[in-house]
Amino acid sequence: MKVLIVYAHPEPRSLNGALREIAVKELMAQGHEVQVSDLYADGWKSQVDRADFPSLARDERLITVAASKKAFEAGTLTSDVKAEIEKLLWADALILQFPLWWFTMPAILKGWVDRVFAYGFAYGVGEHSDRRWGDRYGEGTLAGKRAMLIVTAGGWEEHYAARGVNGPIDDLLFPINHGILYYPGYDVLPPFVVYRADGFDESRLGPVAEHLRKRMRTLFTTRPIPYRQQNAGDYLIPSMQLRPGLGDPGATGFGLHVDNEGGVNER
Ligand SMILES: Cc1cc2nc3c(=O)[nH]c(=O)nc-3n(C[C@H](O)[C@H](O)[C@H](O)COP(=O)(O)O)c2cc1C
């Protein structure tokens, strides 16, 4: 199979650098083809601006969504963005690897998403009607492919537990896992998270490396997070509200969109 790792760390001699090497080596040992987009090493441009849309007239107002749609359809996105889109279409699995910075991904990786996940490619796909609301959340261009995060965090695992002061890790990563990866269709696997990553003691690397190797060996067999599909019956359309009776009564928030019960559909 084919695997793309999008790697966002400025220093190869970091814990992230070591984890990347371990992951690549194990994937290749399993016979997979691997490509790495090393955003810092490649000098990735992280902000969306006019330069992303060379066909926009000089005096034309930049409406980013419209410019993205037009450029994707016309094939006039910049060559760095087009190359990343080709890699995403090539890969059966996508891994985003990054250190947790201010409770989310580093800006360079967010900028990769902002620029590469173009209108018509990752969003704005499919029919919008009273029956369905676009091909998203489990459907879309990247459906049938898998994605997962490799994340390092300075905080302790307990700090990210259900009652931990930082908030639960699944909540913090929800906008990435659900909003960025599930949205264009990926089946999203549980993340691989290394806690207490600052001043990471070499003596701790052994078990972490073994766990990561195992996750790489099971990349194509691990059960994805059972997010609810938008167009499969769990939501009212067009209000996009979860149907009454689904989810724990009184529950609110991100966890509602994980189907721990099987939903109304047999899937
Ligand atoms: C700008 C910045 C923001 C950070 N924010 C967080 C954070 O929100 N939560 C956390 O647990 N650790 C945070 N950290 C710690 C990093 O997650 C930690 O340094 C990194 O995972 C260590 O891996 P590395 O050695 O590969 O860089 C932050 C570090 C930096 C530099």
Give Cβ neighbours of residue 105 (< 8 Å, ≥ 6 apart).
8, 96, 98, 176
Higher-confidence position of 150 and 133? 150
* pLDDT given for residue 262 in this prediction: 65
* 93 phi/psi in degrees, rounded to 5: -140, 145
Q: Cα(153) to centroid of ligand 1, in Å?
A: 5
pLDDT beyond 80 at 182: yes
Indicate the pTM of the whole model: 0.96
pLDDT beyond 90 at 248: no
- Residue to substitute in 169, 195, 198 for testing ligand 1 pocket (most ligand atoms within 8 angstroms of CB): 198
Average pLDDT value for residue range 235-245? 93
Q: Where are the domains positioned within the chain?
A: 2-225, 227-267
Atom index in ligand 1 nearest the CA of residue 151 equals 21
Tell me, using a 6 A CB cutoff, whether residue 172 lines ligand 1. Answer: no
* pLDDT given for residue 266 in this prediction: 35
Q: Cα(82) to centroid of ligand 1, in Å?
A: 30
Tell me, using a 6 A CB cutoff, whether residue 164 lines ligand 1. Answer: no
Closest among 84, 101, 190, 199 to 142, alpha carbons compared: 84
Q: How many residues does the chain have?
A: 267
Q: Cα(150) to centroid of ligand 1, in Å?
A: 13
Closest among 227, 140, 133 to 176, alpha carbons compared: 227
Distance CA 250, CA 81 (A): 43
Q: What's the CATH superfamily of 2-225? A: Flavodoxin domain (3.40.50.360)
Query: Worst-scoring range by mean pLDDT, 66-75, 130-139, 203-212?
Result: 130-139
Contact of 117 with 64, CB cutoff 8 Å: no
* Cα angle, residue 117 at apex, residues 115 and 122 outer, rounded to 5°: 160
Q: What angle do the packed helices 79-90 and 107-116 form, to 10 degrees?
A: 90
Distance CA 45, CA 112 (A): 8
Confidence of residue 220 (pLDDT cuts 50, 70, 90): very high
Tell me, using a 6 A CB cutoff, whether residue 81 lines ligand 1. Answer: no
What does 28-75 look like in DSSP terms, one character per residue? HHTT-EEEEEETTTTT---S--GGG-TTS-TTS---HHHHHHHHHHHT
Closest among 207, 199, 148 to 14, alpha carbons compared: 199
* Token pair of 234 as six digits: 């769990």
> What percentage of the chain reaches a pLDDT higher than 90?
91
